[in-house]
Structure 1
Amino acid sequence: MPDKPTRLFSRLTPSTERTLSDILRTERAGGILLLVGTVAALIWANSAWADSYEALKSFQIGPHALHLDLSVEDWAKDGLLAIFFFVVGLELKREIVAGELRRPATAIVPIVAAVGGMAMPAILYTVVNLQDGGSPEGWAVPTATDIAFAVAVLSVVGKWLPNALRAFLLTLAVVDDLLAIIIIAVFFTDHINFLWLAASVVCIAVFGLLAAKRITPWWLMVPLAVAAWAFMHASGIHATIAGVALGMVVPAIRRKGERHALAEHWEHKWRPVSAGFAVPVFALFAAGIAISSEAISTAVSDPVAQGVVIGLVIGKPLGIVLATWLVATFTKANLDRGLNWLDVLGMAFLAGIGFTVSLLIGDLAFSDERVAEVKMAVLAASILAAIIGASMLFWRDRFYRRLYESRSNPVVGHDRMGDAHELARMIGGTVAPRPEKDDAH
């Protein structure tokens, strides 16, 4: 018997189904709060109280002896985002052990797509910044995807899209976050104090050992995590890397008698803290830029800003779709029945919403120089990518809704099935035949 042809975006593992449900539920609200934080920052920074905003951002607090006398903005960037990256680490562990990244056949698509979606923006940014006045140092800014904003947009316009396609965006974003973490660790570390790094590694190892033995009282695990973060910060490596490492050492397989694996339980517990507090507060102190006609004019003519916009709006979708097409071509895989390359393109445009990690990398790449132009470019590019992606997916969502109605209503479905087939033919898709009654159970 010949092997059945491989289908892209066809089936999900039970773990990924649960992850998808958790993320869509939590990140939808988180995306709204992230938007609120961003709007509040922009209003505050452009109001009569702009001086108080800058004063609060630069206000320093923390023990100097531990090198933690940081500004409020740095606490939000280095401290609160560690919670965000801890959840990313838990996601990665779950996906690698029990999710879509566990099986090579399903892992290859989001991994290659994520690589393509980061390589193409970096290439386009670099090409744009080869001209006079450009700055190649910011090549990593347009490579990241903001999952909270992307999921928030997807939840509004993509309610009828297949779960496998939605999971593709989430899994791609997880891999994207991993690659962004590697970029931050490798390219934005000026010096390393190996003594402090070793101390952080020891704390992370003890944290993982206690988690494996299920010895997890908060009064023990939280101080260990904070110590790992503080030592990582003192080592010269960006402190958020400690958050990822802590998440990665948490067991993702259930023990006998456990309802959920520890990684799944903690992700469910900490995701609301990340999406509902840590990331919105970071946005409040990272997105506040003074917008004026002069600032806009400067940004429009700046190769750095141009490279960021082109990278996110054009490079991201181009890289993701091209990489996915190459996987389909060389593995002779087909899109699952009913899916269309326009679906993939719409999702790829949503991946161009690069906010949280893009702003973080922008701060690391440029310090005080050109930060305003970079932030303005990230905001503009994210809005543009969201509009384009939302428009495409809204159109496709209408098709899937009509298809669902035609298959779920036998009386109306008989009349509408021809319309669904015709619509699918017009846009290049295919429609799976309506299942028989026995199959419906």
Structure 2
Amino acid sequence: MSSQNNTRGGGAWSAIRRVAASDRLSGLIMLSFALVGLVLANLPATAHLFEAITETHIAVPHTNLDLPIGHWAQDGLLTIFFLTVGLDLKQELTTGSLANPKAAAVPMLCAVGGMITPPILFVAVTALLAQYGPGPAGDLVLTTTGSEIPFGEMARGWAVPTATDIAFSLAVLALFAKALPGSIRAFLMTLATVDDLLAIILIAVFFSALNAWYWFIGIAACAAAWACLVRLKRVPWPCVAVVGILAWVMMFEAGVHPTLAGVLVGLLTPAREVHGEPTPRAERYAGKLQPFSALLALPVFALFATGVHFESLTPGLMLSPLVIALIVALVVGKPLGIMATAWLSTHVGGLKMAKGLRVRDMFPAACACGIGFTVSFLIASLAYDNPELSAEARFGVLVGSLIAAAISGVLLSRQSKRYEREAAAGRSVTVND
């Protein structure tokens, strides 16, 4: 009986890991939770209960940690996702697509171009939609769902459309582009990985309010302890867990967004084989954390991130200057920046695409990079203190990401069918020969 239970438990865990490893399924689960959060927060029957749950505070005794559940999902649970990102980044930088900068130069530059263009479009669109009004000191103000907002306050969201959600973009590829060559997926993976790294730097630089300096000594001590512990032949996991939690607390106290503790310790994990092990520890740990990240941290974060209440969730909300600016920045700005950078780097800079790829082949995948979602939600909550603006920004990210996913899905499906026809024609010629 015991062995049967173990077999069933192992089979269930294997099934969970397969679902988490599927870009398609994990992406759909996260999207479902995001839509459920939006509905629960705005249905009259559930809105009050959902808000009460979101705002319920949970405190850690004898500390300054006293956060509502919604913030625990953002600042605490999302750390698992960022730890996975840190481990993946370390592996890519050590032995993966980023280990050879020359081979990865074009997608790396495209990631930069894809982060620069959306903020420019965002600020330009908000300025175009702005109107002069009775703002303080004659400031340019915007009318958004009945409220007049100074332009300077609105423009604080410039960083919201900079991020690409790697999980969702790969989910779109898995759903609509089964016949695409691996080089396109590798290009997107490299681009999105660099995008993640740049987004992490952006959060650390622009959305951290630094406090007392001595907390950074604690962070450095935790980092050193983690680096030593995870290199031991037998890793003392209770000690590692304590060090990781302390690093998170010290990040929080220092004023740096605490999820970056996950990135820090992930980057300090060995990405080459040690002690005769068959696989690198960073790769192995990322694989073990993936189910918790894809099926717990991200869905719960998406549930609370989109669970914002609007007094009137109507089509008129789509006319909000903030929503329009984010849609344009994500749907137009991302592919525009990526494609322009790819063209300039290959036609002017003399760099080369992967063998068999042309710049125009990347357009459908570039459109998929307009799916902001996870990190964009996080930046929206950090950029705006005004609850109304934060809510509208997250709504704009959701709508813009869905539009980008739909456009890229159609284009990727057509591109995949073209590759299928070309492959079939090639096989036919081979048989006739």
Same fold (TM over 0.5): yes
Instruction: Measure the CA separation in 2 of the matches of 1:26 and 1:232.
Output: 32
**Does 1:384 pair with 2:381?**
no
Task: Please show how residues 40-439 of structure 1 align to structure 2 within 5 Å.
Answer: 40-47=36-43, 48-63=45-60, 65-130=62-127, 131=130, 132=140, 133=142, 134=151, 135-255=154-274, 257-290=276-309, 296-302=315-321, 304-336=322-354, 338-367=356-385, 368-408=387-427, 414=432
Asked if 2 retains the 8 angstrom alpha-carbon contact of 1:27 and 1:275, the reply is no
**CA 1:409 to 1:49, structure 2 compared with 1: closer, same or farther past 3 Å?**
same
**CA 1:116 to 1:24, structure 2 compared with 1: closer, same or farther past 3 Å?**
farther
- Which shifted more, 290-299 or 92-101? 290-299
- Which shifted more, 324-333 or 81-90? 324-333
Asked if 2 retains the 8 angstrom alpha-carbon contact of 1:254 and 1:262, the reply is yes
Asked if 1 retains the 8 angstrom alpha-carbon contact of 2:20 and 2:295, the reply is no
Instruction: Measure the CA separation in 2 of the matches of 1:278 and 1:24.
Output: 12
TM-superposed CA distance for 1:99, in Å, is 1.1
TM-superposed CA distance for 1:53, in Å, is 0.5
TM-score normalized by the length of structure 1: 0.84
Asked if 2 retains the 8 angstrom alpha-carbon contact of 1:95 and 1:102, the reply is yes
Asked if 1 retains the 8 angstrom alpha-carbon contact of 2:346 and 2:352, the reply is yes
Asked if 2 retains the 8 angstrom alpha-carbon contact of 1:26 and 1:271, the reply is no
- Gapped regions of structure 1 (runs ≥ 5): 1-21, 416-441
Asked if 2 retains the 8 angstrom alpha-carbon contact of 1:299 and 1:376, the reply is no
Instruction: Say which SS state the counterpart of residue 201 (structure 1) adopts.
Output: helix
CA deviations 1:47-78 (Å, max 9, x no partner) are 21111101101100022532211110000000
- Gapped regions of structure 2 (runs ≥ 5): 1-17, 131-139, 143-150
Instruction: Measure the CA separation in 1 of the matches of 2:184 and 2:428.
Output: 24
Instruction: Measure the CA separation in 2 of the matches of 1:24 and 1:51.
Output: 32
CA deviations 1:399-421 (Å, max 9, x no partner) are 1122233344567x649xxxxxx
* Equivalent in the alignment of 1:27: 23
Asked if 2 retains the 8 angstrom alpha-carbon contact of 1:26 and 1:275, the reply is no
Task: Give the superposed CA RMSD.
Answer: 2.1
TM-score normalized by the length of structure 2: 0.85
TM-superposed CA distance for 1:291, in Å, is 5.6
Q: How many residues align?
A: 392
TM-superposed CA distance for 1:388, in Å, is 0.8
TM-superposed CA distance for 1:278, in Å, is 0.4
TM-superposed CA distance for 1:390, in Å, is 0.8
Amino acid at match of 1:205: A
Instruction: Measure the CA separation in 2 of the matches of 1:92 and 1:336.
Output: 21
- Which shifted more, 208-217 or 333-342? 333-342
Instruction: Measure the CA separation in 2 of the matches of 1:224 and 1:414.
Output: 65
**CA 1:407 to 1:113, structure 2 compared with 1: closer, same or farther past 3 Å?**
same
Asked if 2 retains the 8 angstrom alpha-carbon contact of 1:62 and 1:68, the reply is yes
Instruction: Measure the CA separation in 1 of the matches of 2:255 and 2:101.
Output: 35
* Equivalent in the alignment of 1:38: 34
Instruction: Measure the CA separation in 2 of the matches of 1:361 and 1:288.
Output: 16
